[in-house]
Amino acid sequence: MNKMQKIGVMTSGGDSPGMNAAIRSVVRTCAYHELECIGIYRGFQGLIEGDFKSMDARSVNNIVNKGGTILKSARSKEFMTRKGRDTAFAKAKEQGLDALVVIGGDGSFTGAMIFSDENDFPVMGIPGTIDNDIYGTSSTLGYDTALNTVVDAIDKIRDTASSHNRLFFVEVMGRDVGNIALNAGVGAGAEEILIPEENLGKDRLLESLKRSRASGKSSSIVVVAEGDKTGDNVFELKDYVEANLPEYEVRVSVLGHMQRGGSPSCWDRVLASRMGVKAVESLMEGKSNYMVGIQDTKIVLCPLDQAVKGKTDIDKELIRVSDIMTT
């Protein structure tokens, strides 16, 4: 039934903790089913350049616990052109690849889908991004780890904030979505959380800070997603609060790319292991153009075009919980 013999695996776009565990799973599932597995370095750019390495079960020893990606990652401009994709297809054929597993985010899936459609080439996606913004899965690889990293950082900031009775603005990743800000904010007990999905307005922020001070709180943490809707960055927010509430001493902490690194959590390792098995076995069953996801603890498949086009929603109930928690 299955003519699949050689599968290529790559990581593409922004890296996330758990990508190595997913590579390991794809490689070992191939080995288990006696398929050849080819690692492709630097995502689609490596496919264009033929940057390949044959991988067996032993080439992925001791990486389940490692952050980053041993295959490196890239955002390839060349792959966005037809010429680049034609070269990539020629390299894939030359190498004898029968299918591709792409571990990445929606940009990578869009590229994979176009490549698959143009060349009738089987692809399977595994969602790897700390942003958790992909339709068709309740959790992406790296999200859980990033949340734990952010909560740990905010806990430490809280120590120094309360020692000095200060207010901290903590900027977290999330260019288009506030999942990290909202969940880590609730987890770390933030007084306010500013996210791209909702414009709470700066007046409300001032009101909330006034209330917080009046109720006897000695320190305050405001978590701000990069893409927050107020339109102000954390430094502008600091200036605004200092100008309007001089009783507050304000500091800013931008967590930045440390959120993308570190050893993956147990959740991300297990999820990656399950997704890798599903990706390879689905290709063996003749399926193509799907993303592997998780829904209600079950590993599922979602058509790639839906994963790319579908919109994820912020958890409105969690916003309400956050409001109650700041009482």
- Which residues carry out catalysis? 131
Flag whether 120 is marked binding: no
Burial 198-227 (b: 16+ CB within 10 A, else e): eebebeebeebbeebbeeeeebbbbbbbbb
Q: Which of 93, 156, 164, 175 binds ligand F6P (CB under 6 A)?
A: 175
CB 262 within 8 A of CB 17: yes
The three-state secondary structure class of 102 is strand
Task: Between 11 and 282, name the residue whose CB sits nearer to ligand F6P.
Answer: 11
Flag whether 105 is marked binding: yes
Residue 36 touching ligand F6P (CB under 6 A):
no
Q: Which of 131, 144, 191, 197 binds ligand F6P (CB under 6 A)?
A: 131
Residue 224 touching ligand F6P (CB under 6 A):
no
Question: 189, 176, 177: which is closest to 150 by C-alpha?
Answer: 189
Closest approach, Cβ 175 to ligand F6P, in A, equals 3
Residue 192 touching ligand F6P (CB under 6 A):
no
d(CA 106, CA 190): 30
Question: What is the separation of C-alpha 264 from the centre of its chain, rounded to a whole number of angstroms?
Answer: 12
When CB distances to ligand F6P are compared, the closest residue is: 14
Residue 71 touching ligand F6P (CB under 6 A):
no
Element spanning 179, H or E: helix 179-187
Question: 257, 220, 256: which is closest to 237 by C-alpha?
Answer: 220
What is the chain's length?
Answer: 327
Residue 153 touching ligand F6P (CB under 6 A):
no
Task: Between 129 and 282, name the residue whose CB sits nearer to ligand F6P.
Answer: 129
Residue 130 touching ligand F6P (CB under 6 A):
yes
Judged by CB under 6 A, the stretch of 59-67, 129-137, 158-166, 287-295 that binds ligand F6P is 129-137
Sheet containing 250-254, strands listed edge to edge, beginning at the edge strand earlier in sequence: 192-194, 220-225, 167-172, 250-254
Site string for ligand F6P, 227-266 (x = CB under 6 A): ---------------------------------x------
* 261-320: contacts with ligand F6P (CB under 6 A): none
Residue 106 touching ligand F6P (CB under 6 A):
no
The three-state secondary structure class of 159 is helix
The three-state secondary structure class of 98 is coil
Name the residues that contact ligand F6P, by CB under 6 A: 14, 129-131, 173-175, 226, 260
Q: Residues marked as binding?
A: 14, 24-28, 75-76, 105-108, 129-131, 158, 166, 173-175, 189-191, 217-219, 226, 251, 257-260
